[in-house]
Amino acid sequence: MNASQPSISPGDGAPAFSPLYRQIKALLLQSLQQGEWKPGEVIPSEIELAARFRVSQGTVRKAIDELAADNLLVRRQGRGTFVATHAEQQVQYRFLRLQPDSGATMAGEGPAERDFVACKRQRAGAQIARALGLRTGEQVLQARRVLRFAGVPTILEDLWLPGGPFKGLTVERLSGYHGPMYALFESEFGVRMVRADEKLRAVLPDPQQAKLLAVDPGTPLLSVERIAYTYNDTPMELRRGLYRTDTHHYRNQLG
């Protein structure tokens, strides 16, 4: 471990009145945010981190436990602790709460077939800019895609991304990447989505939306609006999805 790494002291990324393990958690989060350890990489051992921050191994363990509970780190028995990544099979559908009525998981249905209908750069209107923490008129990337499960169009999504962090993202890159979209954001743009807020409501589709989802315009759909955040609660994506619920349901575990 680099001997120049700072030890814990008041003002180092966390208030002095915070519990010590919370201060360590803040410093670890700072290292994740700054890219010291990339998604999928192993972080230093508890012993190494304890020496780095000059605290007990138990304090480090408690900080890591909280980051693991937040799905930012993943413990692997006998191998160490790794930075969580959306490329892992078990977390690919972490933010997708739609489940088949059959009782299977989304992963059990097989990989979704994705069809990008549009992808373009545009100026952000007031509502989009506010959601993404931008100024009105700043450049955003807007994309529309249809997700099919077992050949049935099930989800129609419109999403907006800030132009700066996603410079160079095109419909060809989106269509050509066969893993989860958030894994693409991690590997090629250095943006990791760590949490999301959602709003749900029932809506009727417009004629174009109904056509893309192969439903009658009078069919009620579940609208899910999501803002996804990277580290430091920075908004990085606004996504509006329309979900068919004739063979699927939205499932969320509370508590």
Please give the full DSSP string across 224-255, using - where no structure is assigned.
Answer: EEEEEEEGGGEEEEEEEEEE--SSEEE-----
166 and 216 share one domain? yes
Output the average pLDDT for the chain.
85
- CATH number of the domain encompassing residue 56: 1.10.10.10
Per-residue pLDDT at 10: 42
Specify whether 28 is located in the same domain as 153. Answer: no
Report if residue 88 sits inside a domain. no
Tell me if 12 is assigned to some domain.
no
CATH code of the domain containing 211:
3.40.1410.10
Q: Are residues 72 and 104 in the same domain?
A: no
* Domain final residue, candidates 45, 63, 83: 83
Q: What is the pLDDT of residue 190?
A: 87
Q: Name residues whose C-beta falls within 8 Å of residue 83's C-beta, 6 or more positions apart in sequence.
A: 32, 37, 38, 39, 40, 41, 43, 72, 73, 74
pLDDT score for 1: 39
What pLDDT does 85 receive? Answer: 81
The pLDDT, as a whole number, for residue 48 is: 93
- Position 196, amino acid: A
Q: Which two tokens stand for residue 55?
A: 């605290």
255 belongs to a structural domain: no
Let me know: does 119 contact 142? Beta carbons within 8 Å: yes
Per-residue confidence band for 3, with pLDDT thresholds at 50, 70 and 90? very low
Summarize pLDDT for 7-52 with one digit per residue, the tens: 455 445 444 567 899 999 989 988 988 888 888 889 999 999 999 9
- How high is the pLDDT of residue 94? 61
Average pLDDT on 91-118 reads: 70
Specify if 4 maps to a domain.
no
- Global pTM reads 0.75
The answer to whether residue 201 sits within a structural domain is: yes
Q: Give the rounded distance of the alpha carbon of 59 from its chain centre.
A: 28
Are residues 225 and 127 both part of a single domain?
Answer: yes
- The answer to whether position 127 is within a domain reads yes
Task: Confirm whether 2 is domain-assigned.
Answer: no
pLDDT value of residue 5: 47
End-of-domain residue from the set 36, 58, 83? 83
Q: Is residue 73 part of a domain?
A: yes
* Residue 252 clears pLDDT 90, i.e. is over it: no
> Tell me: the pLDDT tens digits for 49-91?
999 999 999 999 999 999 988 888 989 888 899 988 876 654 5
Which pLDDT score, from 0 to 100, does residue 107 have? 53
User: pLDDT tens digits for 193-250?
Assistant: 888 999 999 999 999 999 999 999 999 999 999 999 998 889 999 999 999 999 888 8
Does residue 53 sit in the same domain as residue 134?
no
Query: What's the Cα-to-Cα distance from 114 to each of 46, 144, 155, 181, rounded to whole Å?
Result: 41, 10, 10, 10
Number of folded domains in the chain? 2
Confidence of residue 113 (pLDDT cuts 50, 70, 90): confident
The residue segments making up the domain with residue 45 are 20-83
